[in-house]
Structure 1
Amino acid sequence: MGFSIPNSDRTDVTQIVVVMVGLPARGKSLIAGKVKRYLRWTSVKAEVFNVGKYRRTDNPHPDAKFFDVNNTEGEKARKAAAEAAVADMLKWFQDKDNKVAILDATNSTKSRRKWIYDKIVEANLLHLYVESKCDDEDLIMSNILEVKTSSPDYVGQDPEEAAKDFRDRIRNYEKVYQTIDESEKNLTYVKIINIGARVVINQIQDYLQSRLVYYLTNLHIKPRSIWLSRHGESEFNLSGQIGGDANLSERGQRYAKMLPEIVKRSGLPKNAPLTIWTSTLKRTSQTAQHLQKELGWEKLQWKALDELDSGMCDGMTVPRTDTLSPDRILTVMF
């Protein structure tokens, strides 16, 4: 589901800083990228400011020791990177058409979050802290192996050694990590726990903030597969009629019977809890009937998937619509 803000109202949209919070390997950068794409799709100008990119300017391939709390030089370099990212972000907001900046970093301590909050308030911007928490070890290790071993920090390194070093980096962050709690109840935040298994929301006040929270609470950060199928040939397809709620033709029924095997051959994941979605029209439900019977999946109908209403042309053939006057055709179209 998306929304778009009319151009005439766009200057009234507030400017918001989305501040990512969480340990490494919790999907923060993935979430940040998805939020940016979603906002741009809805015509809201957004940008990600990744502190790691700023840090790599002077420290392109640090090992885990760089992130040790006792490493004063490392701490100094990380703070400098954060300051540079925040400075560029605030400069970006000088263009009032720019609406949402995503500060992508661990922001793992209350003192760091307070420093960022003060900068945001000083610049007269709104904020939304997004904390991604995960204690599922399988999910964490999957993220380390699938994502972090391809990080710019580990280019050219052995994947196993990179994964080990990154695990050590996480342990260093764990020593100082402070989750958002009641002591920060003045913050506007959403806390996503174990990839959406539980969500905590606090102090949402602005319209755009609420739209971001809606998107975040419905976000899937793990890959998913979607199979799309046209309905089988209908009786109206044979007769050349528009719209309607016709049954499948004989050939359409044959397609419906073949569909379960076609889906199986397409690389169906084993034991995956899949759901069949159809429109409310008979031809789509009949196309899915054998999938439901043979594979035992739940089948749901959604009226939003129905074909657009053909108006007075419903049930007509295309040649028949040619006999309508131009005024009546415009009525059908608009």
Structure 2
Amino acid sequence: ATGPLPTARAPGTGPRTPFSSASFFDASKAFATSHRDRISLEAFESLLRWLKEDGSEIAIFDACNVTKQRRAKLGELVCALNDEAAGRESPVSIVFIESICYDEQMVLQLMEGKVQNSPDFVSLPKAAAMADLHERIRHYEKVYQTVAHDEGPYIKILDLSSKASVSNVYGRMASSVLPFLLALHTMDRPVLLYMLPSGDEAGSSPQYREALVRWARSYARSSELTILTSTEPSALAAAQGLADASGGPQPQQRAMLGPLLV
């Protein structure tokens, strides 16, 4: 689909989407659970028809398949589709993708983006929307079951691509889809460029190194820095001081960078 990106809404404006309150995601409520299951399965069956009829190759079913029972049902539908098309079409394979985030600050930022852009919270002020989303997450946590090895192929992305755990993923999934997933990110990842003054004497002077050290110590995400530097002595000296101050990994040298620190 193409079109303009969604813009952040003004808090507390417009009607709220039906069945969007946190109570609708309470697994102890039979009506809400059956309603959500029905909607999910209808959407998944539509996805399978799209794969079968349109000659498409890859589809992503973005849903909270947090229980083993729900995932097993999806697997049954895929098997039924393959049995129906046996000998006539290539079989459809299913791979579960699980995103696990332990970084509380990262979770908070993702939640803020959710309440700003999702129609689920369009009529709520930010504080009320965040409280509602917290409650929804607690409902998910009560029934959440991580994907297990016996459920088939899976990819687990930890802390938004900082680490991945992969099981029984081969071929195109491993060579194309997995790198694509690892390249996705929803958090800001700034690229900072620093051009050293011309001449080794100026670039290696304590004045510039100390300025970089002060900046690194005050930068909130200094431990996340990946430092790329040219092979010039002045750049190497400045990069090493920056790495020592930030507590991050050692600088990586790149001859094509000229006198840049990145």
- Aligned partners of 1:128, 1:101: CA distance in 2, in Å? 11
2:27 aligns to what?
A: 69
Q: Residues 263 and 157 of structure 1: is their aligned pair in 2 closer, same or farther, counting only changes over 3 Å? A: farther
Give the unaligned 5+ runs of structure 2: 2-15, 83-90
2:140 aligns to what?
A: 173
Contact 2:227 2:243 in 1 (8 A): no
CA-atom RMSD in angstroms: 3.9
**Residues 122-174 of structure 1, C-alpha deviation per residue, up to 9 Å, x if partnerless?**
25212221112234544434432x22322220013121111111122122222
- List aligned pairs for 1:121-136, cutoff 5 A: 121=79, 122-123=81-82, 124-136=91-103
TM-score, normalised with respect to structure 1: 0.55
- Aligned partners of 2:109, 2:41: CA distance in 1, in Å? 31
The structural deviation recorded for 1:90 is: 2.4
**Residues 52-78 of structure 1, C-alpha deviation per residue, up to 9 Å, x if partnerless?**
xxxxxx954521111112323322332
1:212 aligns to what?
A: 177
- List aligned pairs for 1:46-65, cutoff 5 A: 59-60=17-18, 62-65=20-23
The yes-or-no answer on 1:272 pairing with 2:214 is no
- List aligned pairs for 1:14-29, cutoff 5 A: none
- List aligned pairs for 1:203-282, cutoff 5 A: 203-217=168-182, 221-229=186-194, 269-270=219-220, 272-273=222-223, 274-280=225-231, 282=232
Q: Residues 182 and 92 of structure 1: is their aligned pair in 2 closer, same or farther, counting only changes over 3 Å? A: closer
- Tell me the secondary structure at the aligned position of residue 169 of structure 1: helix
- Tell me the secondary structure at the aligned position of residue 58 of structure 2: strand
**Residues 199-226 of structure 1, C-alpha deviation per residue, up to 9 Å, x if partnerless?**
3211112233343224445665532211
Contact 1:61 1:154 in 2 (8 A): no
- Tell me the secondary structure at the aligned position of residue 174 of structure 2: helix
Contact 2:229 2:235 in 1 (8 A): no
Q: Residues 271 and 180 of structure 1: is their aligned pair in 2 closer, same or farther, counting only changes over 3 Å? A: closer
- Aligned partners of 2:50, 2:18: CA distance in 1, in Å? 25
1:104 aligns to what?
A: 62
Aligned length: 228
The yes-or-no answer on 1:301 pairing with 2:253 is yes
The structural deviation recorded for 1:104 is: 0.8
- Tell me the secondary structure at the aligned position of residue 28 of structure 2: coil
The structural deviation recorded for 1:293 is: 3.6
TM-score, normalised with respect to structure 2: 0.67
- Aligned partners of 2:188, 2:54: CA distance in 1, in Å? 35
- Report percent identity of matched pairs: 28
Q: Which has the larger radius of gyration?
A: 1
2:153 aligns to what?
A: 188
The structural deviation recorded for 1:302 is: 3.3
Of 91, 115, 119 in structure 2, the residue corresponding to residue 149 of structure 1 is 115
For 1:148, give the aligned amino acid: K
1:162 aligns to what?
A: 129
- Aligned partners of 1:92, 1:159: CA distance in 2, in Å? 37
For 1:276, give the aligned amino acid: I
For 2:78, give the aligned amino acid: I
- Aligned partners of 1:300, 1:110: CA distance in 2, in Å? 43
Contact 2:157 2:164 in 1 (8 A): yes
